[in-house]
Amino acid sequence: MQYRQIGSSDLRVSEIALGSWVTFAGGVGFDTTRACTEAAFDAGITFFDTANMYGRGEAERAWGEILSTHPRDSYVLATKVWGPMSDTDSGLSGAQIAKQIDASLERLQTDHVDLYYAHRFDTHVPIEETIEAFQRVVDQGKARHIGFSEWLPEQIEAAIELAGPELFVASQPQYSMLWRAPEARIFDLSSGIGVSQVVWSPLAQGILTGKYLPGEPFPEGSRAADPEQARFFDLVLRPGVLEAVQRLVPIADGLGITLAQLALAWALRRSEVAAVITGASRPEQVHANASAAGTALDAATLAAIDDALGEVSVTEPVPAMYVEPGVLHR
């Protein structure tokens, strides 16, 4: 395993992180979650990413039980706030952040998280209130560092103008061979303020594993076959995508790696990326993903990837799902 620094923080994390969104969206049971988590430790993965809204707290609760058997200083733990926990509990008001951090810590069985993200930007709350609430969380020792996920450039700039360069250390955008939207503005903007990228969906919802074949129905039980998950596929499943992905297979074969490992190594080629968040439903997947760490791709390989994909990748600065433009001030 290889390790990288997150922004201007003191957090050193494994290049490959284990996330729990796929686990709890896909209905993976507790025993499998434990097995995947232990496989992560065995593989040198030290970075675990979750959110309060995953399973309405169940993801945090499971990891609270599992991770409590490991020394707290042996892993880096991140969670998020913003998403709905009930019909009335959502957003980034001061009261909501204060309430949700305490609830997350209780479920996670810890007195602090290492990284606390705003899961999205809240355009209905004055940004000053949100920034002050996150600063209080840090001052109280409940989170060591703060990050944001899928904020627009103008929202990032407004937050930094208020908070200064020290509060935020990580950005969590969707990023993969098929979704390159953050390269347009987010990467450069974040680098200039000491913020690293911790990217989600580096395998494009599993499309970059090669298991979805052109002209064939989605495999039964796969996320693509699940109506609840299908909307995430629509973002990247443009015409010609599956055919283009199959053109990547010989490139991976030539390197002696899997297509998934090629995709993870591609995302990690950027120095702005501190880690890629992977999901798993089997321990074997954890070990396979971890094997991508430290894989370097030369210029010829990167050019071959671009040639294979052609024009199917999203490169324009398209907002992610659930993103609203604008910034509210007091």
User: What are the catalytic residues?
Assistant: 54
In this structure, which amino acid lies at residue 293? A
> Measured between alpha carbons, how far is 37 from 53 in angstroms, rounded to an integer?
19
Residue with tokens 């729990």: 20
- Classify burial at 322, counting beta carbons within 10 Å of its beta carbon; exposed 0-12, middle 13-18, buried 19 or more: exposed
| C-alpha pair distances (Å), 293 with each of 45, 120, 197, 204, 212 | 10, 28, 16, 18, 24
Where are any strands of DSSP class E within 100-252? 113-118, 143-148, 168-171, 196-199
Is 94:127 a contact under the CB 8 Å cutoff? Answer: no
> Measured between alpha carbons, how far is 281 from 32 in angstroms, rounded to an integer?
7
Is 280:289 a contact under the CB 8 Å cutoff? Answer: yes
Pick from 58, 75, 145, 146: which is nearest to 110 by CA? 75
Is 297:266 a contact under the CB 8 Å cutoff? Answer: yes
Kindly report the CA angle at 229 between 224 and 230, in degrees rounded to 5? 55
> Measured between alpha carbons, how far is 273 from 49 in angstroms, rounded to an integer?
15
Q: Which helix (H) or strand (E) holds 274?
A: strand 273-278
Bridge partners (DSSP) of residue 275 are: 198
> Measured between alpha carbons, how far is 311 from 243 in angstroms, rounded to an integer?
12
- Classify burial at 100, counting beta carbons within 10 Å of its beta carbon; exposed 0-12, middle 13-18, buried 19 or more: buried
